Amino acid sequence: MAGVDAAGEFETIRKLFAPLAHPDHAWGLRDDVAVMPTRPGYDLVLTKDAIVEGVHFLPDDPLDTVAQKLLRVNLSDLAAKGCEPFGYLLACHWSPRCGWPEREAFAEGLAADQKEFGIHLLGGDTVLTPGPASFSATMMGWAPKTGSVTRGGAKPGHGVYVTGTIGDGYLGLKAAQGHLKLEEERLEALAEHYRRPVPRLAYGQAVQGYATAIMDVSDGLIADLAHIADASGVAASVQLELLPKSAAAMAWFETRIDPEAALEQLATGGDDYELLFTAHPADEGNLKREADRLLLRLTRVGTVEAGRGVSATHLGKPVDIRKPGWTHD
């Protein structure tokens, strides 16, 4: 790991990151490369996401949660491909607010999630920047050579399903910013979801035999379903009243004057990191059994149709979705 942070770079690597390195393949981070093993019968799957202060995390977010969000948004991509995660490459662009205690906290967050998800650091880079701070990870995992489900297999008549709840990422940002008025316990639950989403790795592996198209919800359910519809050459419709909501989101929803507008916000807000997929209705029983086995909520929220694009209804009435989700434009 090399960079322009000459004063603290090598101490950061030696004290904070070397203990996180893969014991067999990263050579203690004493070299510029790592060597990946081969695994008969499996493909190596790679994904990369970056997070930037002020865009994907708040300037006052603790850096341990920032590190965990970085790993988890990447793990969520692997979950959609049914992968067993293996390890990651890391790039840290430290801003002036990232002193030694903040770097220690960042490494502690990485260590906690490495233990939880069974992964190791393989290498990377550290540099200084005038700001904002930013971090990126290239996550690697193993998928059976039988093939992962892509975004392109949805067919008319298939159901549209989502794991967990929708809207907690959007509301969690509001809670972390102090823009929501709810009980403290609800606010903490929402902020926790925003800062540390849960990648659905186990269900991602279980659903590969049933899903026809799949991805995770990062930019918003409507926007991400549009990606599936576009890749599959179909249309899809969503019934907004079916959106699964957490107890905290329900408490917020019950205070809204315009339920339709509130549901639109939840369906387009993003940062949920749940699995969104299509499947034949005949497989719904199997899908629900797998979800029950993992104590995971599963909801059918819509239907795949002939045509193009994504539409939404609320109690049978068409809804004009003004902005389907988050973009960096």
> Residue 288, exposed/middle/buried by CB under 10 A (0-12, 13-18, 19+)?
middle
How many alpha carbons fall within 13 Å on the CB side of residue 273? Answer: 24
The answer to whether the annotation marks 314 as part of a ligand binding site is: no
Are 157 and 123 in contact, with CB atoms under 8 Å apart?
Answer: no
The answer to whether the annotation marks 49 as part of a ligand binding site is: yes
The answer to whether the annotation marks 271 as part of a ligand binding site is: yes
- Coarse DSSP helix, strand, coil percentages of the chain, rounded to the nearest 5 percent: 40, 25, 35
The answer to whether the annotation marks 124 as part of a ligand binding site is: yes
The answer to whether the annotation marks 113 as part of a ligand binding site is: no
The answer to whether the annotation marks 326 as part of a ligand binding site is: yes
Are 328 and 224 in contact, with CB atoms under 8 Å apart?
Answer: no
C-alpha of 59 from chain center: 20
State how far the alpha carbon of 9 is from the alpha carbons of 19, 26, 91, 98, 137, in Å. 15, 17, 12, 12, 18
The answer to whether the annotation marks 212 as part of a ligand binding site is: no
The answer to whether the annotation marks 218 as part of a ligand binding site is: yes
Query: What's the chain's length in residues?
Result: 329
The answer to whether the annotation marks 47 as part of a ligand binding site is: yes
In angstroms, the first-to-last Cα distance of the chain is: 32
The answer to whether the annotation marks 3 as part of a ligand binding site is: no
The answer to whether the annotation marks 125 as part of a ligand binding site is: yes
The answer to whether the annotation marks 32 as part of a ligand binding site is: yes
**Which residues line the annotated binding site for substrate?**
56, 271, 326
**Which residues line the annotated binding site for Mg(2+)?**
32, 47, 49, 77, 125, 216, 219
**Which residues line the annotated binding site?**
32, 47, 49, 56, 77, 124-125, 151, 216, 218-219, 271, 326
**Which residues line the annotated binding site for ATP?**
124-125, 151, 218
